[in-house]
Structure formats: C-alpha cells, structure tokens
Amino acid sequence: MAFARTCSVALVGVEGVVVEVQADLEPGVAAFTLVGLPDKSLTESRDRVRAAVVNSGAEWPQKKLTVGLSPASVPKAGSGFDLAVACAVLGAAERIDPRVLADIVMIGELGLDGRVRPVRGILPAVLAAADAGYEQVVVPECAAAEAALVPGVSVLGVRSLRQLIAVLAEEPVPEEEPDELGRPDPLLAGLRVPGTGAATGMHSLAAQHDSEHDLADVVGQTSARTAVEVAAAGGHHLFLEGPPGAGKTMLAERLPAVLPTLTREESLEVTAVHSVAGLLPPGKPLIDIAPYCAPHHSATMQSLVGGGPGIARPGAVSLAHRGVLFLDEASEFHSQTLDALRQPLESGHVVIARSAGVVRFPARFLMVLAANPCPCGRFSQRDALCECPPSAIRRYQARLSGPLLDRVDLRVEIDPVTRAQLTAPGARGESTATVADRVRAARERTVARLTGTPWRTNSEVPGRELRSRFQAVSGAMDEAERNLERGVLTARGIDRVLRVAWTVADLVGHDRPDATDVALALQLRTGVPRGVPMAIGALT
C-alpha cells in the first residue's frame, strides 16, 4: 500500500488545530479525491498541487489518489494546506521518504510554478503546532521570521517546492532565480489582505509613535490630559465630550505613545490577531507597540466586533487588543453597534457564534469615545452659542446608552481653547516622554502589587477583590458611598471609582488610595468638581 502522512494546521479564530494530511495511492483510473470537510479554496488545491508538482520536476502519480484531512469533523479553510498535500502525495509516490514527513508541520500555499506563497495566521498556526508537541515546521521563506517567534520549534523557510523536495530527499538544494531588482516581491502579497491597512484605521501602526504626535502639542485641557494619563496607567476607558476643534482627536492619537511597550506574551497575542486578520506588515514579524484602531462611524457591527460570512474574522475590538480603540464621533455610530461593545468591555474577549462553529477572539482594549455635546457641537453651560432645540440635544446625547457609559471609567468635558491659552508663551504642557515615564512607573507598582494574581492592570481587578484584598484608606470611600446612596453611582460605578483611585495612587506613589485620590477619581467619573488639583504633578 502506497501511503504517507504529514501535518498542517486549521485555524479557528486565533486558535489552531493540528490536521493530519494523509495521501493514499491505489491501482485504478487516475483521479484525485480530497476529503475531510474542505472549503472552496481548499478544494481548488487539487489543481494547484498537481501543477506545482509537475512544474517542480517531479512526476505526478497516475493512480487513484485520495487525500484525507483528519479530523474530518473540523472545518478546513484556506490555501495553507497546499504544501502539506503536495508532500503527502510525493511521499505516497515514494519520491520522498514517508518516515521523514510524519513529524513535520507544513504551512503554505503553492503557486502553479511551484513557488511557496505565505498565508495569513502563520504565528497562531505555529503556536498550535508547538502546543501539540511538534518541533519541526516548514513555512514560506518570507514568513520564517514570524514563525521563529515561537520558542522550541525548528523553522525551515522555503521559497519553492523544488527546494523542499531536495531538503527532504537529502539532495543538493537548487538555487531560485532572484526577482528583478526594483520590483516588489510578489510572494509578500499573501501577508496582506486587500482593503485593509492604515487607510482603514485598523492597523497596528496607524498611530505615529514619534515626535510628530507629542502631548506637548495639546494646549490647555488639564483635565483631559490627566484623564489620558490615568487611562494609560490603569487601562481605564475614557469618554471625551466637547466642541469641535478642542483637541479630542489629538489626545486620542497621542494615547498609544503613552502606553508602555508590550511584554513578550502580549506581543505574541497582538501579533497572532493581526496575522489572522492579514494586517501584519511585511518585515515586522512582531508587534511590540500598542495597537491603535480608529474605525469610521459608519462601521458595521461585524467590522467592529468581528464576524462576516463563512469563518468569522476579527473585528476592530480584537485588532485593538492590548491597545487603543478610538471611536470618534461616537454619537454617530449606530446604537446597536455601540451596545455590542458591552460584553467585550467586561470580559476582555468576544465570542462569535455561527452555524459553522463558535469563535473566540481576544479583545482587552482601552476604549476612547469622543463626541460633540449636540448636533451643532456648540452646546455648553457657559455660553449660548448653540441653536439646537433641547429635544434635539436630548436625542443626540441619548445615542450613547446608559449601560455603555456605565462601563466608562473616566468622563471629561473639554472646553474650547481660548485665545489666551493658544498664544501664551510657554503654553506647551508636559511631553509624551515625561508622562510615559510616570505611566511606566505606575504600571510597575501595579504589577508588583498584583503579583501572584491573573491581573496586570487596575482595570482588570474584580470588584469583590477590591472590597476584600485591595481596600482604600479607612474613610476614603465615604463620599463615593454617599453618591451610591443618592443614585449618582451604580454598584459597578463605585467599583470603577475604586479602580481609578488605585491608579491615581500608583501615579502619585501612595501605598493605598486616600481621600484625595478617591476625590480625583470621583471628579474624573462624574465631572463634578471635588476641590482637588486636576494635574497629577500637583498631587505628588
């Protein structure tokens, strides 16, 4: 019996399942049957694999060929199985020793000329192979750096099927002709999905982490700058409300640069999501900075939380994992789309149920909402420039539902910048580097306090733990508790006030939140002045 097997990986969301690719040759009329619940793109691999094998100088077996993908109950999608199918067929035809193929995981698409093209999701696929105990992985050459991020796995990057056959058969490896100089490498096209990238606001590098986007550029807005710093230090959600041109978008764009650099574990999580989404930029296999996603207010629910036809794909909440999700003109989003954010805001992940299966994507992000106070944007309690009727203002502000805003820790009303503030000498505030240093020090205090727990930031600590293990100074929460009795705060709201108070205490260097820290947290949540300085530097 002519039989060979090798392995590949089927992705379900950002999780992988190792699939055994089996090839069997029997006497009979030449035919190629592919079984194991393949989708349309995988079914078409029969023609791609046959052409690639012939154009690589190998002989195609003229027998009855059956290729099985096991387990057969798991849906398989995509063209990443081509390389494994081709090698399994060549193993069954005894062109390659079948014993060499058994313990190798192969991921890659084949061109008709035998070149190996990259596919989406290389990193999560290799992670799944490593978790299953495999130590050897074959991937396209241009994706080898991404696969090498997984420790304990030997990665072989190949540019063509001819090279792989020679390596497995222990023959001299042929040299591939280089592409013409000055032309883009066509193989890199498989790493990106058309229609996605920085122009859509859903790219990890959309926020410029350089001197062109510095917090010192924001004039005035002491309360908003403090809120941005607290949000970055504790991972708290932020709502900025104010007239057009006051600096809401400027603050949101500068928030990612204030966030600390991602840890190795966080970088792998973020890179896996962007790899599956086809947003991993070529030449940068590991994303180590906080992602920034800013979808337009016309975004659909599927583009925001994930989904789509067929196999569900990650949405903006997952692309912003461990980073910032900025929803500008939040009141213009569809109310059902915004309310779909409630579950990921609480749980840190999003679960998408489809007939083909249930997919779970990570979604622990820092949400920043920005909105005008009314349709014309000029409504304020300090002047009478707004001409909107009260009913229109109420309808406009009601587009952001109470349950959604209850999950937002920090709410700041931004005032227009005055001429005196804009033209005053020395009006520039603290730079991004100065604020980032305080945020990094506060995160270090938080991590030291939460050592031995599954949480890394104050925003993740459950309310029961806050009330039992991480309590404030005696009497510091009295004012917050009175707000709870008067109905100003909900039970969830008072927990969030205590989380923000812990972040303020970490920023100013207090061992536990005192009355001043809680007062600042209350002021940032309710907008009611509490008689405390708004600048963090004034509290230290």
Backbone angles phi, psi at 3, to 5 degrees: -145, 140
Taking residues 24-31, report their average pLDDT.
Answer: 92
The confidence band for 187, taking pLDDT boundaries of 50, 70 and 90, is low
Q: Which residue has the tokens 């349309």?
A: 40
Say whether pLDDT at 394 is over 50. yes
Predicted local confidence at residue 1, as pLDDT: 57
pLDDT category, 207, cuts 50, 70, 90?
very low
Helices (H), 262-309: 264-277, 301-305
pLDDT (average), residues 227-240: 95
Average pLDDT for the chain: 87
Query: What was the pLDDT predicted at 537?
Result: 61
Asked whether the predicted pLDDT for residue 281 surpasses 50, the reply is yes
Residue 71 — pLDDT band, cuts 50, 70, 90?
very high
pLDDT value for 378: 80
Predicted local confidence at residue 184, as pLDDT: 53
| pTM reported for the whole predicted model | 0.88
The pLDDT value recorded for residue 490 is: 87
Angle at 206 between CA 204 and CA 211, to 5 degrees: 115
Q: How many helices (H) and strands (E) does the chain have?
A: 22, 17
What pLDDT does 330 receive?
93
Confidence of residue 54 (pLDDT cuts 50, 70, 90): very high
Which pLDDT score is estimated for 295?
93
**For residue 286, pLDDT beyond 50:** yes
Q: For residue 367, with 0-12 CB atoms within 10 Å meaning exposed, 13-18 middle and 19 or more buried, which class applies?
A: buried
Mean pLDDT value across residues 82-107: 95
% of the chain with per-residue pLDDT over 90: 60
What's the rounded mean pLDDT across residues 232-251? 91
Q: Give the number of C-alpha atoms closer than 13 A to the C-alpha of residue 123, restricted to the C-beta side.
A: 25
Choose the weakest-confidence range: 49-53, 188-192, 212-216, 280-284: 188-192
pLDDT at 200: 41
CB count within 10 Å of CB 424 equals: 12
The dihedral region occupied by 475, where left means phi > 0, alpha psi between -120 and 50, and beta the remainder, is left
The pLDDT score that the predictor gives to residue 297 is 92
Give 182's contacts (C-beta < 8 A, 6+ positions apart).
none
Mean pLDDT of 219-230: 89
pLDDT band at 212 (very low <50, low <70, confident <90, very high): low
* DSSP characters over 359-395: EEEE---EEEEEE-SSSSS---SS-------HHHHHH
Check pLDDT > 80 for residue 314: yes
pLDDT, tens digit (0-9, with 9 covering 90-100), for 332-371: 999 899 999 999 998 999 998 877 678 899 999 999 999 9
Res 199: pLDDT: 36
Predicted confidence band at 181 (pLDDT cuts at 50, 70, 90)? very low
In this prediction, residues 175-194 reach a mean pLDDT of 56
Whether residue 108 has pLDDT greater than 60:
yes
232, amino acid identity: A
| CB atoms closer than 10 angstroms to residue 517 | 26
Report how far residue 58's alpha carbon sits from residue 50's, in angstroms, rounded to the nearest whole number. 10
| 529-539 pLDDT per residue, tens | 777 876 676 56
User: What integer is the mean pLDDT of 307-336?
Assistant: 90
Distance CA 30, CA 46 (A): 13
Q: Using CB atoms within 10 A of its CB, is residue 500 exposed (0-12), middle (13-18) or buried (19+)?
A: buried
The tokens describing 215, both together, are 């917090």
SS3 of 204-271: the string is: CCCCCCCCCCCHHHCECCHHHHHHHHHHHHHCCCEEEECCCCCCHHHHHHHHHHHCCCCCHHHHHHHH
The pLDDT of residue 81: 96
Contact 416, 242 (CB under 8 A): yes
Q: What is the length of the chain?
A: 540
Per-residue pLDDT tens over the stretch 417-476: 777 777 777 667 788 999 999 999 999 999 999 999 999 999 999 988 988 888 889 988
Share of the chain above pLDDT 70, in %: 90
